[in-house]
Structure 1
Amino acid sequence: MNISNDTTTYPPYEYDDNYGDGGYEPCSNSNNNSVNAVVGPYIHSIICILGLVGNSLVILTYALYKRTKSMTDVYLLNVAIADLLFVLALPFIVYNELYSWPMGQVACKLLRGSYSVNLYSGMLMLACISTDRYIAIVQARRSFRLRSLSNSRIICALIWIFALLVSVPTFHFYHWYQPSHNAVTWISNITDQEETTDPQYVCEWKFDDSNTASRVKVAVPSTQLAIGFFLPLLIMIFCYTAVIVTLQKAKNFQRHKAVRVVMVVVLVFIVCHLPYNLALLYQTVHLYVQSDCVEVDSLQTAMSVLQTVAYLHCCLNPVLYAFIGVKFRNHFRRIFRDLWCLGKRYIGPRRFSRVTSDTFMSTIRRSVDGSSENGTSFTM
């Protein structure tokens, strides 16, 4: 996390997390820059493509249904929306980290703020999915009263509002500006005239005073750790542990298969997010500890790699929570097959009329809706 202060606070350079030896001389961070040169354009591009395709397919599949079937389906849809918005914002964030930010103040705030909102909402939705599975399996007698579509929609709305409120500091303190250490003035030995390089603007943290910077630089990552990782992790561990214990008592092959699915879900979540969040915790605790440039470079390199691993989770969510379910796969195959047949009819010698096309699409939706079994969930 690259955090800068106003030029009036620490002349001639802003105090930055990337500055070592007292905080006033910029470190080169050669290793981190080399890693970002590969991770940014290539690895993140793969993540964006996979996340875009997977989450778009989930949303498309749900869009072809007349009604949502269960609470888990509502949560899955919102997770897919959050992940899709995240992968759409990721290319702009990578570009900002590698180059100058050309899009101005409003785009800067919207980009960083939406990233924060999607982060919190997506993680909390995963916690809601685990809670819903806990109620459906462990508290089966109460599930009919607690698991209603109206409740799930209210919960999702509250989560999005809460994520927006928690992200207010990000919206407020991110600014589009030219750092003072980028406004370099060169003096020619021959002409003694000043030559200024082209301005390089960034979309980063900016504060009016050091006290505000100190508070925000600790509060924001601490909130991200507490609400964006440890709270969902604890909820998932508690709920899925109880689910596994309950399923182990059942003498049924499908239930034992569901146990393996639960274990994979939790394991992937931990592998993707735990390393980066531990590194973020270390960085926050040692934020004001004096470090040399080598140590800062090593930490930033590790953060870049581990953050990319965490980003992979948005690509895996559609597989873990949607496509792994037999019913969801069947519905998706049916929709894909019907749309393929529809496309073949359009490009064939006998083209559909508008009325015929509408009738065909209505038949698709009826067949898909009719194939659902009493509103059961796609997962497990």
Structure 2
Amino acid sequence: MEVLNSSLVTSNFTSPPGDQSPASLVSIHLVPAVVLSICFLLGVPGNIAVIILKPNWQHLSSLSQSLMLNLAISDLICLLPLPLWIYTIVYSWTLGLVACKLLTYIMFCSLYSSLLTVTVLSLQRYLQVLNLQKIFDRAGRKRLLVLLWLVTMILSIPALVNRQVIKDQNWKSCTDSNSPPSQLVPVLLSECLVGFVSIFVVAFSYIGLQRKVNQAAFFNNPQTTRLITSIIVTFFVLWMPYYITNVLGVAAILLKNDSLWKFCLNSYNFVSALVFVISCLNPFLYAFAFKNMCTVCKEREH
């Protein structure tokens, strides 16, 4: 999850805005900054509203409520520092090494937490419809959330260790240290593994959920079908470009292909900005628009 400055960045391919063409400046810096600004303006109020209002939570089990709250908190933590990242995308990093490591680690933790919470929530809803909710209940809400955050903190350690403030001419970047490219391959592959598994679990769970609730005419609701489709499509469309870029980055390192490497570097700011769109849309997908699905799950329990 090498967001807002790829772990592949080295002095060979990093250049300050003044050395780039206007078209390159727009695509690499301004477009991601605009996307992140929209995410901040829409996502922060949306997630705060979810935390305060808890819409339609009377239809949710206690475990679902804990997961929904954890998702909103994770997304809010992810979105709140965006003004700082937007500033550094446009004007360079000026906050020092400690802030670089700390903010990056917090961002990685919140993104991983959001990703894993959505994954667990989708699986929990599927098991709930199958009347297998006890599988999660046995684990306990607190222990499950502690385990989830422990995993996210472990997965985020590379960001805390490797991040450095690197200067190229008059431009400073909060990015990974200039370690040998071969050392980046395990990090990128581990990110892809977590991402692809999460995408598969979400798609499998909601497709299975749709089939189960549509077995009875009472639950065959076009609104439910559209909602499930929107969740799967949104999750896939916004996460896959990032992981595909990671795979291309691994290929570029292994093949020592400079042109493919440079393409990945130029793409990272944009595909990373798409990841933050998820934190902006989550309140509308999983809180405000999930009343029908909550009702379905509740009815299936009886």
Mapping 1:255-294, distance limit 5 Å: 255=221, 257-288=223-254, 289-292=256-259
Find the counterpart in structure 1 of residue 96 from structure 2.
104
TM-score by length of 2: 0.82
Say whether residues 1:226 and 2:218 are aligned partners: no
Say whether residues 1:204 and 2:169 are aligned partners: no
Cα distance change on mapping 1:33 and 1:200 into 2, 3 Å: closer
The answer to whether the 8 A contact 1:4-1:15 is kept is: no
Find the counterpart in structure 1 of residue 142 from structure 2.
153
Find the counterpart in structure 1 of residue 278 from structure 2.
313
Bigger RCO of structures 1 and 2 (CA < 8 A, at least 6 apart): 2
| Greater Rg over alpha carbons, structure | 1
Question: 1:237 and 1:115 mapped to 2: Cα distance?
Answer: 25
**AA in 1 matched with 2:164:** H
**AA in 1 matched with 2:53:** T
From 308, 317, 324, the equivalent of 2:289 is 324
**AA in 2 matched with 1:85:** I
Structure 2 gaps, min length 5: none
Say whether residues 1:246 and 2:212 are aligned partners: yes
Question: 2:30 and 2:89 mapped to 1: Cα distance?
Answer: 13
| CA distances 1:281-313 after superposition (whole Å, capped 9, x unpaired) | 112221252324xx6655444433333333211
Find the counterpart in structure 1 of residue 163 from structure 2.
174
Find the counterpart in structure 2 of residue 165 from structure 1.
154
| Bigger helix fraction | 2
**AA in 2 matched with 1:308:** A
Structure 1 residue ranges (4+ consecutive) displaced by more than 6 angstroms after TM superposition? none
Say whether residues 1:214 and 2:182 are aligned partners: yes
Cα distance change on mapping 1:280 and 1:3 into 2, 3 Å: closer
RMSD of aligned residue pairs (Cα, Å): 3.3
CA-CA distance at 1:36 after TM superposition: 3.5
Structure 1 gaps, min length 5: 6-13, 20-26, 183-198, 330-372
Find the counterpart in structure 1 of residue 202 from structure 2.
236
- Give the paired residue count: 289
Say whether residues 1:39 and 2:28 are aligned partners: no
Cα distance change on mapping 1:104 and 1:18 into 2, 3 Å: closer
CA-CA distance at 1:86 after TM superposition: 0.9
| CA distances 1:294-345 after superposition (whole Å, capped 9, x unpaired) | x66554444333333332111111101000033899xxxxxxxxxxxxxxxx
